Amino acid sequence: MAPPPLAFLLALQGGLLLLGASGMLLLGLPFGQAGPKELAYALGLLLALGGLEVLFRRLFPASFREAEGLHREVGRALKAAGVGPGFLLLLALLSGVAEEVFFRGLLQSLLMAWLGPLGLLLQALAFALLHPAPRRAFAYPVYTGLAGLLFGLAYLLTGSLLPGILAHFLHNARGFYEISKG
């Protein structure tokens, strides 16, 4: 059985996936398809996330160091809980799929239907709010909000969740790998 913090993470991601996928299916919202265009967007998203991270490291070094320190603490806690690389990859995949299905597939689709382009911004704000950080790491929620905007634009432009899912999974997998080392 997973320790309470891991059980919470799994329940949160599982709940987002269940709610998002159920809502999308009930409302007939498109999950999209996989093709060369979607793979190109996934690569572009991954590169944009990397560029955004470099930019934030340079603009907000103290805030980013604080966020990295928090991530290292999470890594130590995961190691202490006996979490290995396989579980971390599963968590990276689950979070990538669940968050894209819920935030972009369901929430963004609904908000844009009601509010137009403002819905794109509101889903990114909601995504950032799910990734809180202490005040000293203020740049982290801003970074995740901009990442949510990029993921949302990819879904809007391609009509497919695949670019966001792939980029989100790979970005999270890299992050989980880094925190598990230290």
Q: List, for residues 127-168, the tens digit of each pLDDT value.
A: 999 888 877 888 889 999 999 999 999 999 999 999 999 999
Domain annotation covers residue 8: no
Domain that holds residue 143: 36-181
SS (H, E, C) the chain: CCCHHHHHHHHHHHHHHHHHHHHHHHHCCCCCCCCHHHHHHHHHHHHHHHHHHHHHHHHCHHHHHHHHHHHHHHHHHHHHCCCCHHHHHHHHHHHHHHHHHHHHHHHHHHHHHHHCCHHHHHHHHHHHHCCCCCHHHCHHHHHHHHHHHHHHHHHHHHCCCHHHHHHHHHHHHHHHHHHHHC
Residue 30 counted as domain residue: no
Q: Model confidence over 68-99: pLDDT tens digits? A: 888 888 778 878 888 888 888 898 999 999 99
Instruction: Please report whether residue 46 resides in a domain.
Output: yes
